[in-house]
Amino acid sequence: MVRLPPAFHAERRDGRTCRRCAYGPARRAYCRRCSDTLDRGSTVPKDSRTAAHDRWESIPGPRHLTRPFVVKPLRVPEDAVPRELSAAYTVTPRQALVLRVAAGALVIGLVANAAATAIALVAVATALYAAATLFRVRTFTLALGKGSDIVVEQTEALAIWDRSLPMYTVLVPAFREPQVIGALIANLDRLDYPRDRLDIKLLLEDDDAETIRAAQAAVTGDHMELVRVPYSEPRTKPKALNVGLRLARGRRHGRGLVTIYDAEDRPDPLQLRRAVAAFRRAGTKTACIQAKLAYYNADQNMITRWFTAEYATWFSQLLPGLVRQGVPIPLGGTSNHFRRTVLEQVGGWDPHNVTEDADLGIRLHRAGYRTEVLDSTTFEEANSDFVNWVKQRSRWYKGYMQTWLVHMRNPVRLWRELGPSGFVGFNLFVGGTPLLALLNPVFWTLTLSWFLHSPAFIVALFPPWLYYASLASLVLGNFGFVYMAMLSAQMSHAPGLVLAATLSPVYWGMMSIAAIKAAIQLVQAPSFWEKTSHGLDRAAGEVPQRAET
């Protein structure tokens, strides 16, 4: 790259634009968008790729491609996740034994002394409910203080010298989405990162001819590569990601970073630079930076409003609050940035887990690495259809249950690796999220029927001490959740969502339906589980016309 004399820079301040892509105003020696030099006399024709291409041809790396940039590995790599942490099987024999013993004890208890057993059951449920609720409130309030997420100002992000930036691999899995490819590539093009250090991989299924064709037509530069993921079971998003990770450009043990975007994501253009700055600031123990997710179609209908308010709570308060407590955070589906070496060290994603992102967050923490939250937003599309929303949400809950079961296979080891607060936090958050959704309707029904006609069985179920405890945790907890959603909506500068947040109990009803669906699949037909994850290769932001096989 040609370094221009200072005088030249001074002259450039008036806001000259790149001749090739009309991007500006530029203060650098080369265009930030297409990495073409901004030489005053440059007359690179608009459709030419040669300048940039020649440059990165000279970079060493395991990439050789024939035009148009399609890679097809011969076979899918073996699972790199250790088997004891893989969700390839749901429960271990020991866990099955524990579950059977617990179920047996419950049956014996109900036969021997039904009333006492039922009261004990209600007491345990109340205690768990209260604990999970209190943990959430505490997490939320912790995040209200300053400094719980990393803030990188625009100036700082732009000031990073381009040649000190690491190779950035952006993995974008897509499946049967030919119609969004154009928009996807436009969004990726907006990323402010030198192209000779950007390695975008569109991960497409080998038999998905339509999408591949659309992608081939739309690709704009040599920094993008189409990867045809060969057919193999399980056909999931994490498997595609593992394939992409193997093909990442740059030196194997270098400083390279990896991130994931979904096909309809609109990331903050400075997100990659911000992530680089955040990694530099956070230190080597930080292996992952989670950016915030929000929705661009919040105003579409009530579901998207609730969903957006929920996401605001999740990413702006709950996750930073978890970070503050040193609790492992379940990552969100996209916009998580990794150090490539660490990611390879822990074995990448678990292709059998339905919420591989959440699972990976826990595994990174167990391996001794931290995750931080970055104040930079990726906009996604909120699921706006009820049935589709329930499907998506039940998959998440199932994944959380799966993740909880996987990591609780050896609780003693988990305790040792996470420490007491991490262990408790993991149980209350990853286990507590589906649990709250499951218990909420039970308590609501009991309360309502008690108020309506006070049936005798409820009076018998709730001795006074338990009655007050559960009523308090239900009423205060539910109000607390509504209020937290309202505050998050307000803090994310979306006052229009505050009103929707006051109605969030209706949304919880939807969550409970999804949780029940997930629990039934988990209890009755664990084999059906594998099947559902078929074809559902992407957890978040599912597009309605996706066929579910």
**Binding residues for other proteins (CB under 8 A):** 144, 151, 153-154, 266, 268-270, 274, 294-296, 298-299, 308, 375-377, 379, 451, 464, 468, 475, 479, 482-483, 486-487, 489-496, 498-499, 502
User: Quick one: 70 or 476, whose CB is closer to other proteins?
Assistant: 476
Between CA 234 and CA 244, with CA 240 as vertex, the angle to 5 degrees is: 150
Query: Taking the alpha carbons of 114, 116, 119, 125 in that order, is the dihedral positive or negative?
Result: negative
Q: Where is 375: in which H helix or E strand?
A: strand 370-380
Phi, psi of 74 (to 5 degrees): -75, -35
Beta carbon of residue 156, minimum distance to other proteins (angstroms, whole number): 10
User: Quick one: 499 or 525, whose CB is closer to other proteins?
Assistant: 499
Beta carbon of residue 98, minimum distance to other proteins (angstroms, whole number): 37
Beta carbon of residue 258, minimum distance to other proteins (angstroms, whole number): 22
140, 289, 409, 435, 514 from 309: Cα distances, Å: 14, 22, 34, 20, 18
Beta carbon of residue 494, minimum distance to other proteins (angstroms, whole number): 5
Beta carbon of residue 486, minimum distance to other proteins (angstroms, whole number): 6
User: Quick one: 113 or 154, whose CB is closer to other proteins?
Assistant: 154
Region of 173 (left: φ > 0; alpha: ψ -120 to 50; beta: rest) is: beta
User: Quick one: 263 or 486, whose CB is closer to other proteins?
Assistant: 486
Beta carbon of residue 231, minimum distance to other proteins (angstroms, whole number): 35
Beta carbon of residue 468, minimum distance to other proteins (angstroms, whole number): 5
Cis peptide before 25 (omega within 30 of 0): yes
Beta carbon of residue 16, minimum distance to other proteins (angstroms, whole number): 23
Residues 6+ apart with CB under 8 A from 416: none
Q: Where is 174: in which H helix or E strand?
A: strand 168-174
User: Quick one: 228 or 266, whose CB is closer to other proteins?
Assistant: 266
3-state SS, residue 429: helix
Amino acid identity of 225?
Answer: E
User: Quick one: 312 or 539, whose CB is closer to other proteins?
Assistant: 312
User: Quick one: 388 or 490, whose CB is closer to other proteins?
Assistant: 490
Beta carbon of residue 135, minimum distance to other proteins (angstroms, whole number): 19
Rg of the chain's alpha carbons, rounded to an integer?
A: 25
3-state SS, residue 252: coil
Beta carbon of residue 161, minimum distance to other proteins (angstroms, whole number): 21
User: Quick one: 284 or 445, whose CB is closer to other proteins?
Assistant: 445
| Nearest residue to 133 via CA among 316, 318, 292 | 318
Beta carbon of residue 386, minimum distance to other proteins (angstroms, whole number): 22
Per-residue 3-state assignment (H helix, E strand, C coil) for 50-79: HHHHHHHHCCCCCCCCCCCCEECCCCCCCC
Beta carbon of residue 259, minimum distance to other proteins (angstroms, whole number): 17
Q: Which residues of 485-513 are buried (b: 16+ CB within 10 A; e: fewer)?
A: bbbbbeebebeebbebbeebeebbebbbb
Give the separation between CA 207 and CA 549, rounded to whole angstroms. Answer: 15
User: Quick one: 95 or 297, whose CB is closer to other proteins?
Assistant: 297
User: Quick one: 26 or 158, whose CB is closer to other proteins?
Assistant: 158
Beta carbon of residue 141, minimum distance to other proteins (angstroms, whole number): 9
Phi, psi of 336 (to 5 degrees): -105, 130
CA dihedral 124, 129, 132, 138 (to 10 degrees): -120
Q: Which residues of 459-473 are buried (b: 16+ CB within 10 A; e: fewer)?
A: eebbeeebbebbbeb
User: Quick one: 167 or 291, whose CB is closer to other proteins?
Assistant: 291
- In DSSP notation, 494-508 reads -THHHHHHHTHHHHH
Give the separation between CA 225 and CA 210, rounded to whole angstroms. Answer: 16
User: Quick one: 155 or 527, whose CB is closer to other proteins?
Assistant: 155
Look up residue 211 and give its two tokens: 């999408």
Give the separation between CA 186 and CA 202, rounded to whole angstroms. Answer: 13
User: Quick one: 175 or 379, whose CB is closer to other proteins?
Assistant: 379
